[in-house]
Chains A and B, each alone.
Chain A
Amino acid sequence: MTNVKKSIFTAVCMALCVVLPMAFHSVQNAGSIFLPIHIPVLLCGLLCGWSFGLACGIIGPVLSSLFTGMPPIAYLPSMLVELAAYGLITGIIMSNVHTKRIYADLYISLIGAMLAGRVVAGIAKALIFSPGHITMAAWVTSYFVTSLPGIIIQIVLIPSIVFALERAKLIPVRYPQISRNQ
């Protein structure tokens, strides 16, 4: 993929950071359950690489906050750190893991980024945003228990989107030799 294409894909992911939460908010309580803003950021990191994922993770929530007021500015910094970590880490893992199986690459990158991003967000909250107020139990509850439906949706949805994009020939096939042999 050329850099121009990566830039435009990143721009679209940034726009989806604004549009997707609005689409989900039209479904009752879906925004807080399915974490829609995470999906374009994770996808951007997977498809375009760590630098573009990082840019999407920083700019996407800022645009969303400016245009729709969600997330509110008070929660924006902590969310920004979390999303930036997702974009950065998915990109890094995806470019360094080559198992010759796209499923494995995608799931290793996704799950690795989801775990690492949540750890980074927890550390940032404990040290910067609400020092002394976050406990281990609160971190586990807010980042894993409450968001469990969102995590499951992301694990199911993001690989499906990648395959749909590959099939539509909008992104290059990751292992063309293997796909041809199959």
Chain B
Amino acid sequence: MNRMPIGQYIPGDSLIHHLDARVKLIAFILLISTIILTDSVPGYCSLMVLTAGLLFVSKVKLKTALGFIQSLFLFLMVIFVMNTLFFDSAQPICSWWIFHISLGGMAQGANVVLRVIFLMIFSSVLMATTAPMEAAFALKSLLRPLQYIRIPTEDLAIMISVAVQFIPVLMEETEMIRKAQTARGAKFESARLREKAASVMPLVIPIFLGAFRRADELSLAMEARGYRGGKNRTQNKQKPLRKQDILALLTAAAVCFIQAYAF
């Protein structure tokens, strides 16, 4: 609970840090497609080279990008083992009761685990190199076409940016409440379901009360300053894309294309 597995912004001076956030978001979507399209050994080798290049250019440490592994290790292991044991293969290596260990199952398990790992690394790089407010404005800009089907994108963008800013505050508050309840005798580590459920109740209600109190204060402050929803809100002109942004976008598109057709 003390730290997020991924998603922490790390200020820096790399090429990726200086790219337009809209470009980074589009490139991220393209890279997700690349991961989904990959299912062969050469494909994963090329993804590994791409990841190494991305980490080098973004100056994000490998330790930071792989920070999630520790918290998700058990989850990834379960996925791998389940696929290995229960994959329906015509030629299992060995079979016992309902378990059939096969090469196909292992490959399938490794495929899923590798996809999750690459996805998390790319998410880490995106979040480590993009300030939350930049990401919110980029999202607002990318969502703009939805205005034509009457979706209030301005309001959505405000909600997302407020939510993103609330996350660290609420995490800190949650940790404080958890410690306070532990001091009062809450048994979070109990193995019994009833005790676990009983310990969850005094944790959740104060979290919601604290969060809604903050939200109430913020909305009052916003209304007092004349905010009446995003519809008629003015804003600074969005910066146009620069040469390096267009180049980065073309590179991501080329990588996606090559990965899809070559591997």
The residues of B that contact A43 with a CB separation of less than 8 Å are 208
Q: Contacting B159 at CB < 8 Å: which of A5, A11, A19, A39? A: A11
B195 CB, nearest partner CB in chain A, Å: 10
User: Is residue A3 within 8 Å, beta carbon to beta carbon, of the partner chain?
Assistant: yes
User: Is residue A143 within 8 Å, beta carbon to beta carbon, of the partner chain?
Assistant: no
> In the bound complex, do residue A2 and residue B1 qualify as a contact, i.e. CB atoms below 8 Å apart?
no
User: Is residue B120 within 8 Å, beta carbon to beta carbon, of the partner chain?
Assistant: yes
Residue among A4, A63, A152, A165 with the most chain B CB within 10 A?
A4
Which partner residue on chain B sits nearest A9 by CB separation? B215
> In the bound complex, do residue A69 and residue B123 qualify as a contact, i.e. CB atoms below 8 Å apart?
yes
User: Is residue A15 within 8 Å, beta carbon to beta carbon, of the partner chain?
Assistant: yes
| Stretch in A26-34, A110-118, A119-127, A134-142 with 4+ CB within 8 Å of B | A26-34
| Stretch in A85-93, A100-108, A156-164 with 4+ CB within 8 Å of B | A156-164
Q: Contacting A18 at CB < 8 Å: which of B115, B167, B216? A: B167
> In the bound complex, do residue B189 and residue A67 qualify as a contact, i.e. CB atoms below 8 Å apart?
no
User: Is residue A16 within 8 Å, beta carbon to beta carbon, of the partner chain?
Assistant: yes
User: Is residue A153 within 8 Å, beta carbon to beta carbon, of the partner chain?
Assistant: yes
Interface string of B189-213 (1 = CB under 8 A from A): 1010100110111011101110111
A38 CB, nearest partner CB in chain B, Å: 12
Q: Which of A2-58 contact B (CB under 8 A)?
A: 2-5, 7-12, 14-16, 18-20, 22-28, 30, 33-34, 39, 43, 55
B117 CB, nearest partner CB in chain A, Å: 10
The residues of A that contact B158 with a CB separation of less than 8 Å are 7, 11
The residues of A that contact B215 with a CB separation of less than 8 Å are 5, 8-9, 11-12
Question: Cα distance A171–B213 when bound, in Å?
Answer: 10
What band does the interface of chain B fall in when counting residues whose beta carbon is under 8 Å from A?
Answer: 35 or more
A137 CB, nearest partner CB in chain B, Å: 16
Question: Cα distance A10–B152 when bound, in Å?
Answer: 14
- State how many residues of chain A have any CB contact under 8 Å with chain B: 51
> In the bound complex, do residue A59 and residue B160 qualify as a contact, i.e. CB atoms below 8 Å apart?
yes
Q: Which of B245-260 contact A (CB under 8 A)?
A: none
> In the bound complex, do residue B162 and residue A8 qualify as a contact, i.e. CB atoms below 8 Å apart?
yes
Question: Cα distance A63–B5 when bound, in Å?
Answer: 13
Q: A4-B228, A12-B212 are in contact. Are A19 and B7 (CB under 8 A)?
A: no
Question: Cα distance A70–B5 when bound, in Å?
Answer: 10
User: Is residue A72 within 8 Å, beta carbon to beta carbon, of the partner chain?
Assistant: yes
Question: Cα distance A25–B166 when bound, in Å?
Answer: 19
Question: Cα distance A23–B197 when bound, in Å?
Answer: 13
Question: Cα distance A8–B161 when bound, in Å?
Answer: 10
> In the bound complex, do residue A63 and residue B208 qualify as a contact, i.e. CB atoms below 8 Å apart?
no
Interface string of B110-121 (1 = CB under 8 A from A): 001001100110
The residues of A that contact B123 with a CB separation of less than 8 Å are 66, 69
> In the bound complex, do residue B68 and residue A69 qualify as a contact, i.e. CB atoms below 8 Å apart?
yes
The residues of B that contact A153 with a CB separation of less than 8 Å are 197, 200
B200 CB, nearest partner CB in chain A, Å: 6
The residues of B that contact A27 with a CB separation of less than 8 Å are 188-189, 196, 199-200
Residue among B112, B199, B211, B212 with the most chain A CB within 10 A?
B212
> In the bound complex, do residue B216 and residue A19 qualify as a contact, i.e. CB atoms below 8 Å apart?
no
Which partner residue on chain B sits nearest A162 by CB separation? B208
Q: Could you pull out 5 A-B pairs where Cβ atoms are within 8 angstroms?
A: A7-B155, A23-B207, A30-B196, A55-B159, A156-B201
Interface residues of A (CB under 8 A from B): 2-5, 7-12, 14-16, 18-20, 22-28, 30, 33-34, 39, 43, 55, 59, 63, 66-70, 72-74, 149, 152-153, 156-157, 160-161, 164-165, 168, 170-171
Given pairs A25-B1, A161-B208, 17 additional interface contacts (CB within 8 A):
A4-B222, A5-B219, A7-B155, A7-B162, A8-B216, A11-B163, A12-B166, A16-B207, A22-B4, A22-B174, A33-B196, A55-B159, A63-B160, A69-B123, A73-B116, A149-B193, A164-B205
